[in-house]
Amino acid sequence: MDPAIGKILGMAMAYAVSSLGLLLAYYNYRKRIVKAEQIFTPTAKVILGLVAGIAFLAIILGAAVLSPGEASAWAKIVTHLPGMIIPALIFGMSYWVTWVLYKHFTKTLGAGSPPEKP
């Protein structure tokens, strides 16, 4: 793979992680400051899922198809399948751990008395 493509994919992943952080901050704001019962409407959830899914597929499958070689597009995708599944699993695991930690600490902070000011 061309090193420039790797740099572009790295930056895209960094922006994706950054956007997840912003989304979590928005969720926290709506839940704790606004005290909203519903953070995202069902339509917003569907749109977020579609945008994330389409972007993910376009980037990953596009990179596989554009990889050098004489094979057909499908053969290239099958060849690069482990390189697509493993990063997706790592990303999914990191997202899940972040979400579980967020839920744990919001329950811990909400259950007791507020922390004392120094």
pLDDT single digits (tens) 8-22:
778 888 888 888 888
Q: Which residue range(s) make up the domain with 71?
A: 3-111
Do 63 and 9 meet the contact criterion of CB atoms below 8 Å apart? yes
Encode pLDDT of 26-57 as tens digits. Answer: 888 888 888 888 888 899 889 988 998 898 88
Residue 117 lies in a domain: no
Residue 118: inside a domain, yes or no? no
With respect to residue 70, please indicate whether it lies within any of the assigned structural domains: yes
Structural domains in the chain (count):
1
In a domain? residue 8: yes
**Euclidean distance between CA atoms 61 and 72, whole angstroms:** 13
Q: Which two tokens stand for residue 103?
A: 């839920």
Q: pTM surpassing 0.85?
A: no
In the DSSP assignment, the letter for residue 35 is -
**116 within some domain:** no
What backbone phi and psi angles, to 5 degrees, belong to 63? -65, -40
